[in-house]
Each structure stands twice: as structure tokens, then as C-alpha cells.
Amino acid sequence: MAISVVLAVDSIADALIEKLATRVPNIKVGPGTDPSAEMGPLISREHRDKVASYINNAAGEGATVVINGTDKAKDAGFFLNPSLIDNVKPGMKCYDEEIFGPVLTVMRVKSYAEGLQTINDNQFGNGTAIFTRDGGVARQFQYDVQVGMVGINVPIPVPVSYYSFGGWKASLFGDQHMYGPEGINFFTRGKVVTSRWPDPRTSAVDLGFPTNR
């Protein structure tokens, strides 16, 4: 999810890009104190510049920058407007690395099978979502995809706390998730006690146990 990739089947890709291109510029970026702001700043100047580098280098790698959010970045603060990049492919930095910024990339695929293989081949396995009106396709996807969190017509598949949160592959550190049943172990420090007791009848201290003497 931190890469924010849309896999669009070729037959609908152009129409999808057109719709996205009309909505992305309308996202209002501003400080959290502004009740009308829909997206806040990035965490630091260094990270803002790093995110901007993915956008500025995308065209040189063969991608199409549909909307460049760096053109209207605010001077004060670490703000960056949303960007939209089309025709992204594996091997490009904007696809291979987690951006953690307001950048939506689009990769075009020819079929469901190619899209599924693309997801499963990715080194990260945090969250993914499928948008469909076909329940059979959705059910097959949830079994086939190799990702820790799956959304069906839900854009950000981060479950509530009683389910295990976290991804698979390079999106997971350690072997336990921090929410859900595994969270008991995640937030608990275990203590192991190994002991062996002699027969109470051999003890010289009266602990109140029956001794049948």
C-alpha cells in the first residue's frame, strides 16, 4: 500500500486515468489545523524531497507523469500535492520502492491473471484490494493473492484491532502481527519457570500440606 499502485486492465485503463486526472488535483493539501484539508504535510523536508525525486525521475524511466504535484508544492512546510503517474513497470524506482507519499502510480495489465501475478511477484505483501461486481472473482482473488491484508471493494484493507494487522513478505518484520490474537504475544514478555519438587513428606518445614503421618 505504501507504493500505491493501481493495476488497470487495458480495456478500461484510459477511462480510469481520465477520471483520476480530474479528481486528483481537487484534493486539498494543508495543515491539520485546517478543517477543509484532506491531506497533510510529509514528515520532513528530506522525505518531501525524496518523494519528489520519484516523480521527477519517472519520465526518464519511461513512465508518464499525468499530474506532477511538485509543480505547485507550498514553500512553507513539507507539503506536496498529489501526483499521478501512468505506464509504470517493474524496474522503475517509483514501482520497486515504497514511496510513502501522495503519489498514485498506474500499471496496465492485460488480464486478471497478469495482474494477480504482478502482485504476487512483488517483494512487499502489505495490503491489496480488488474492485469488482463479480463475487466469484473476488472469492478467487482472496485465495490466490499472496498478501497479508485483502480488501474487496475496500480501498485501504486495514482491519479493526481484533484482526491481525500486517502484511507478508518484506512488509513484515518478525513473525507476529501486533493486533488480533497474535497481539497478546506481541505485547507480552513471557516468563518461563522450570521446577521440580520433592515429596512434601520429606520437608522439615510445615507448609500445611497433609502428610499422612
DSSP-derived 3-state class of residue 19: helix
CA dihedral 61, 66, 69, 71 (to 10 degrees): 90
- pLDDT for the residue numbered 55: 95
Q: What is the pLDDT of residue 199?
A: 74
The H or E element containing residue 117 is: helix 112-121
The architecture that CATH gives domain 1-110 is 3-Layer(aba) Sandwich (3.40)
Rounded Cα distance, 108 and 85, in Å = 11
Domain boundaries, the chain: 1-110, 124-194
Per residue of the chain (213 residues), what is the pLDDT tens digit? 666 899 999 999 999 999 999 999 999 999 889 999 999 999 999 999 999 999 999 999 999 999 999 876 666 789 999 999 999 999 999 999 989 999 999 999 999 999 999 999 988 878 889 999 999 899 999 999 988 888 899 887 776 655 555 666 666 656 666 666 777 777 777 767 766 777 767 767 776 766 665
pLDDT of residue 41: 92
Question: How far apart, in whole angstroms, are the C-alpha atoms of residue 38 and residue 50?
Answer: 22
